[in-house]
Amino acid sequence: MPQAPVLVAGFREVLWLSPDGEVEALAPAEARSRVARETPMLCHARATARRLDVPIFAALDLLELFAFVRPARFCVPTPRGLAAALGLDLPRRPAEACVTLATAARALLQELGGDTDAETRALAQTMDRSGWLWAPAVIAALPACDPDALGRAAGLRVWTRLAEWTEPAPGPAPGNETVRPEEARSRLAELLGAGVEPRPQQADYAAAIAAAFAPRDQPDHPRAVLAEAGTGVGKTIGYIAPASLWAEKNRGSVWISTYTRNLQTQIAAELDRLYPDPELKRRRVVVRKGRENFLCLLNYEEAVGAALMRPGKSLAHLGLIARWITASDAGDVVAGDFPGWLAELIGGGRVNWLADRRGECVHSSCPHFRRCFVEKNIRKARQARIVVANHALVMAQAALGGLDDSTVPTRYVFDEGHHLLAAADGAFAVRLSGREGRELRRWIVGAEGARSSRARGLRRRIGDLVEGDDDSARALLDVLGAA
């Protein structure tokens, strides 16, 4: 356990707990002076620096330790939030918050004592060489082993430890059994559970939506129900009831599409009622998003290679991301199990740089293709009963006839339907924005300048095909010149 003071900077007062247990209330000027001389233990270094009106300073941030010990787990980034996540007594006063942080650090380090994985110790030693302030305490807390046998920076090369996805066998086409209104009402009652006051409007809503899942009676004339309900009716559970019934009866997938990523997260949380068993839910429910939401393992590997050439703080940040990669279920860095406060501590730009970027994926040519989070997500969606997507992805899929997956769903629920036209405009529009024009030029010309990019231009894509054909070669040069 580091013998360091504890700093809690609130909106009204700044408290300092010395290693011998003395609590002091500091004036802002004195607090700024102390953090320049000492390395305190605190919760959320960037927020603390903002409150003290100072640049980022050296500190033992409990959130970094939490991210290392409990990767892909969320906690509210406050002393009280840490206490709740760790099952500690909740602090009621600022002075108690100081003690809570010290207790939380001790609890997290004790928890590490049960981690016998040599990779964890190897990663901690790599992060120690980069100057991560928690590293000495983490190494001391971990069981003894010989991480050097794994090789230099083995803990960072987490892609070697990820399971490869398998291509599922094509299943039969979904059936066409109907969902009767009374069945939808019954399923709604099951989802709500006993003791919940029934809402007739919600039951009527679920029963009315069931008609959308009936088979078509004419070719190219889909069944559609336009449903509206007031605030507080419980629309989400209302449409989940008939949708889940259709998926179970017909062994097919229902795609629930909404407008924003946050609403996707909320809908996925509501599906806990349908699948209270986390393991069953993991198989039956998939959240589908665009590629830019997922961490790219090739980008991460390149970042690790660059950081090893010039060790520094970025290596410690990559170590925290490595811990998250091994624990993450989906690899979603935007609104998944990657804590938002961790992105802020590391730097949002650095995290975004590791995400898949439009036009740069090399697909099956990538050495990590069989472990790719995006490809794994696509294949899980083929087997899911409920797929939670967003309007932009669904419209792009409709425009391109399948996008990453040639399978096109047959049943949709469009939540936040009043935004659907805007999403369709974005997918089908012929007008190019400046950003889209830049992306198109990059796709044609390829990467330019010193910026690292895997974007391949047309010359690299089809140069071999047009070699020896003067007309084709001239056409290629004309396109490149126009770009």
**Span 217-236, pLDDT tens digits:** 888 889 999 999 988 899 99
When comparing pLDDT for 396 and 192, which is higher? Answer: 192
What's the pLDDT band for 452 if we cut at 50, 70, 90? low
Within-domain flag for 48: yes
Which of 93, 112, 131 is the endpoint of a domain? Answer: 112
- pLDDT band for position 423 (cuts 50, 70, 90): confident
Three-state DSSP class for residue 413: strand
pLDDT recorded at residue 430: 67
| Type of residue found at 11 | F
Give the mean pLDDT of 388-405.
79
pLDDT of residue 70: 97
pLDDT at 334: 85
Q: Is residue 456 part of a domain?
A: yes
Residue 230 exposed, middle or buried by CB count within 10 Å (0-12, 13-18, 19+): exposed
What pLDDT does 455 receive? Answer: 64
Residue 473 domain flag? yes
pLDDT of res. 460 = 78
Range of the structural domain that residue 477 is part of: 434-482
For residue 91, being part of any structural domain is answered with yes
Q: What pTM did the predictor assign?
A: 0.85
Task: Work out the end-to-end distance of the chain between its first and last CA atoms, rounded to an integer number of angstroms.
Answer: 59
In a domain, 401, yes or no: no
- Mean pLDDT: which of 298-307, 347-356, 434-443 is highest? 298-307
If you ran DSSP here, which 8-state letter would residue 79 be given?
H
Give the pLDDT confidence score for residue 445 in this predicted structure: 84
- What is residue 405's predicted lDDT score, i.e. its pLDDT? 59
Rg (CA), the chain: 27
Average pLDDT over residues 89-110: 95
Given pLDDT bands bounded at 50, 70 and 90, which one contains residue 453?
A: low
pLDDT at 449: 60
Question: Could you tell me if residue 440 is inside a domain?
Answer: yes
Rounded to whole angstroms, the Cα distance separating 207 from 210 reads: 5
Q: For 11, which DSSP code?
A: S
Per-residue model confidence (pLDDT) at position 243: 97
Domains held by the chain: number: 2
pLDDT digits (tens, 9 = 90+) for 118-171: 899 999 999 998 899 999 999 999 988 765 656 667 789 999 999 999 887 888
Neighbours of 337 (CB within 10 A): 16
Of the ranges 61-65, 143-147, 326-330, which is most confident? 61-65
Residue 22 is assigned to a structural domain of this protein:
yes
Nearest to 91 by CA among 99, 21, 65: 99
- pLDDT value at position 304? 93
Highest mean pLDDT among 229-238, 343-352, 456-465: 229-238
What's the CA gap between 58 and 36, in Å, rounded?
8
Share of the chain above pLDDT 90, in %: 62
Residue 472 has pLDDT above 90, yes or no: no
- In percent, how much of the chain has pLDDT > 70? 94
User: Helix 200-209 vs helix 181-192: angle between axes, to the nearest 10 degrees?
Assistant: 130
pLDDT over 90 (residue 436): no
Tell me which residue of 274, 272, 218, 211 sits closest to 248, measured CA to CA: 274
The DSSP code for 220 is T
Task: With respect to residue 417, please indicate whether it lies within any of the assigned structural domains.
Answer: no
Instruction: Give the DSSP H/E element, type plus range, for residue 23.
Output: strand 23-26
Residue 50's CB is within 10 A of a number of other CB atoms, namely: 12
Helix (H) or strand (E) holding 200: helix 200-209
Q: At what angle do helices 62-69 and 313-327 cross, to 10 degrees?
A: 40
User: Between 401 and 285, where is the model more confident?
Assistant: 285
β-pair type (23-26, 6-9): unpaired
Boundary (domain end) residue, out of 112, 133, 152:
112
Instruction: Measure CA 12 to chain center.
Output: 34
Q: Alpha-carbon distance 281 to 284, whole Å?
A: 5
The average pLDDT across 52-79 equals 96
447: exposed, middle or buried (Cβ count in 10 Å: 0-12, 13-18, 19+): middle
- For all residues of the chain together, what is the average pLDDT? 89
Mean pLDDT of 77-99: 95
Per DSSP, the three-state class of 386 is strand
pLDDT tens for residues 4-60?
999 999 888 999 999 998 999 999 999 999 999 999 999 999 999 999 999 999 999
Domain boundary among the residues 112, 132, 165 is at 112
Mean pLDDT over 250-261 rounds to 94
Question: What pLDDT is recorded for position 120?
Answer: 92
Q: Taking residues 456-481, what's their average pLDDT? A: 83
Q: What are phi and psi of 11, to 5 degrees?
A: -75, -25
